[in-house]
């Protein structure tokens, strides 16, 4: 279902996309987001960071459940959260990197996905020409891809300045303690200890807003616990 092929008008001229169905993330308790999504995502869910044990790279994510395999923002294909991450808005389309030409990308599609149809939904092509619907989706895909690349650079900047700290989030659900491990936060103590030049550097880069959105979002863990209790 998740195999990606390059979108080709000669091959996919009859394809259409039906309304979004979020069943494919029913068991994902975190989803990646970009720095540009922090403010909106923080109004609904905790925004934290995880570390790739193989590459050492950090990735911002939203927490959607209190344990692996649980997504309480999704129910029977419907999204219950206030904010829908870009990775879900783009699905089942995706950007495919061109290994031979670093400045070029392709648009890929998961053609076996249930949202892909030859009879129902919004058409991707009118003959060999892309429809306005596909043009809009492609523009959003490219924009989100560029934001992801910018986010990776910022994560390296945070890591180089040792602003990440490993943290366990603790919450109570109906009086029962729960812990979410393997997370990283921005270290407030180190942030406050930055000299004026370093702090000004964060401001000039436009990073103070996302940092404070992340820190404020941690209060959403209580909302997540309440949603978890209601779901149970």
Q: What pLDDT sits at residue 87?
A: 97
Which residue did the predictor score with more confidence, 175 or 82? 82
Residue of 226, 183, 175 lying closest to 63 (CA atoms): 183
The answer on pLDDT for 2 being more than 70 is no
Which residue did the predictor score with more confidence, 68 or 50? 50
Residue of 159, 156, 167, 140 lying closest to 63 (CA atoms): 167
Dump strand ranges (E) for 98-151.
Answer: 105-109, 116-117, 122-123, 125-126, 129-130
Q: Could you tell me the CA-to-CA distances from 111 to 20, 137, 173, 181 in Å, in that order?
A: 14, 16, 40, 35
pTM as predicted:
0.91
| Per-residue pLDDT reduced to its tens digit, 124-160 | 999 889 999 999 999 999 999 999 999 999 999 999 9
């Amino acid at each position: 279902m998740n195999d990606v092929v390059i979108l080709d008008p000669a091959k996919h001229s009859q394809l259409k996309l039906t309304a979004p169905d979020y069943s494919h993330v029913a068991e994902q308790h975190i989803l990646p987001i970009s720095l540009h999504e922090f403010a909106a995502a923080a109004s609904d869910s905790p925004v934290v960071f995880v570390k790739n044990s193989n590459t050492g790279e950090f990735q911002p994510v939203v927490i959607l459940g209190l344990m692996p395999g649980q997504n309480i923002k999704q129910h029977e294909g419907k999204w219950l959260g206030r904010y829908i991450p870009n990775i879900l808005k783009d699905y089942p389309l995706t950007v495919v990197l061109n290994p031979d030409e670093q400045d070029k990308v392709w648009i890929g599609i998961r053609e076996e996905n249930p949202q892909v149809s030859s009879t129902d939904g919004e058409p991707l092509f009118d003959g060999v020409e892309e429809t306005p619907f596909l043009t809009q989706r492609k523009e959003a895909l490219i924009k989100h891809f560029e934001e992801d690349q910018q986010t990776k650079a910022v994560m390296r900047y945070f890591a180089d300045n040792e602003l990440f700290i490993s943290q366990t989030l603790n919450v109570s659900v109906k009086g029962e303690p729960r812990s979410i491990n393997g997370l990283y936060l921005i270290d407030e103590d180190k942030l406050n200890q930055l000299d004026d030049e370093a702090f000004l550097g964060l401001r000039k880069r436009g990073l103070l807003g996302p940092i404070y959105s992340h820190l404020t979002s941690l209060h959403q863990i209580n909302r997540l616990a309440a949603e978890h209790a209601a779901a149970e």
